């Protein structure tokens, strides 16, 4: 028996600040699973009751004060997954759950600072070390036969048309060759399928983030595709539809990221 599932990944940039935006999105798009990054709140202050009242009573989240934080919110019952700390830091960048025999991993990979050099920039070393460790974990503890979904703000735009200018951005953190190589290694660890590029050709521009610095973000359209939903091979045949809800970047008091939506049968 198969069941339709709509899963969303969204860097919300403060869950408490954007509760009204979340409610509007849930009303319009009705996902079964909403995965958030950058919730920016400690667990005791997470708005669990308000989100449960929106129809999402099943919640697994990890947070710290003021920054980072990840959550998996569901209309359907969840089981706790193997949430982990990476690169020796308890900084709330990963949460995992199980749903109907599918393992869901929600990641918020470090941004990496401004300089693409591990020796001179500890933030960039953290980013690459985090990805290497996650890649090794999937290679050692999971397989391509497992039914898994990996979502999150991975803070890397891997393809030429995932950035507004490949030539310019190739020297900027988020699209440098070494980051792309590391992300490819994570993707290859269990042969994850990049669902948005399953639906949208690599020749087409596709973004999920636009800087707050650009007031004319839509006209300039200098975006990056930093937000991803991947699935392992057993789930690829069930993929039905994918969407990046770009119009939400123009809503009142938006996050600088917009939701990525995937429909699949499991």
Model pLDDT, residue 230: 99
Model pLDDT, residue 80: 96
- For residue 264, give Cα distances in angstroms to 22, 26, 185, 191, 250: 22, 18, 25, 18, 27
Structure tokens at 148: 């898994």
Say what angle helices 122-141 and 177-188 make with each other, to 10 degrees.
Answer: 20
Which domain does 165 fall in, by range? 4-265
Whether residue 15 contacts residue 41, with contact meaning beta carbons closer than 8 Å, is answered with: yes
Q: Give this prediction's pTM.
A: 0.98
Model pLDDT, residue 150: 99
Model pLDDT, residue 225: 98
Model pLDDT, residue 221: 96
Residues of the chain with pLDDT under 50: none
Report the number of distinct structural domains present in the chain: 1
Whether residue 114 contacts residue 160, with contact meaning beta carbons closer than 8 Å, is answered with: no
Q: How many helices (H) and strands (E) does the chain have?
A: 8, 14
CATH number of residue 77's parent domain: 3.60.10.10
Whether residue 260 contacts residue 38, with contact meaning beta carbons closer than 8 Å, is answered with: no
Model pLDDT, residue 262: 98
Model pLDDT, residue 215: 81
Structure tokens at 216: 């004319």
Whether residue 255 contacts residue 11, with contact meaning beta carbons closer than 8 Å, is answered with: yes
């Amino acid at each position: 028996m198969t069941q339709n599932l709509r899963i969303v990944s969204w860097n919300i940039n403060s869950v408490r600040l954007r509760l009204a935006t979340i409610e509007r999105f849930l009303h319009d798009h009705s996902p079964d699973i909403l995965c958030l990054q950058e919730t920016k709140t400690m667990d005791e202050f997470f708005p669990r009751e308000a989100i449960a009242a929106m129809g999402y009573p099943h919640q697994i989240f990890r947070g710290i004060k003021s920054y980072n934080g990840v959550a998996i919110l569901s209309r359907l019952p969840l089981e706790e997954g193997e949430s982990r700390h990476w690169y020796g830091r308890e900084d709330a960048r990963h949460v995992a759950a199980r749903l109907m025999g599918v393992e869901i991993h929600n990641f918020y990979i470090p941004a990496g600072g401004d300089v693409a050099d591990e020796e001179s920039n500890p933030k960039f070393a953290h980013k690459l070390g985090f990805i290497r460790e996650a890649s090794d974990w999937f290679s050692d503890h999971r397989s391509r036969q497992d039914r898994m979904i990996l979502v999150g703000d991975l803070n890397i735009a891997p393809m030429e048309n995932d950035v507004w200018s490949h030539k310019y951005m190739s020297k900027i953190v988020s699209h440098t060759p070494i980051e792309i190589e590391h992300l490819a290694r994570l993707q290859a660890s269990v042969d994850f399928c990049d669902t948005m590029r399953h639906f949208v050709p690599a020749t087409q521009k596709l973004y999920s983030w636009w800087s707050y610095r650009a007031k004319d973000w839509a006209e300039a359209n200098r975006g990056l595709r930093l937000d991803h939903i991947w699935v392992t091979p057993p789930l690829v045949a069930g993929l039905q539809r994918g969407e990046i809800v770009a119009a939400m970047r123009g809503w009142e008091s938006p996050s600088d990221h917009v939701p990525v939506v995937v429909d699949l049968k499991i």
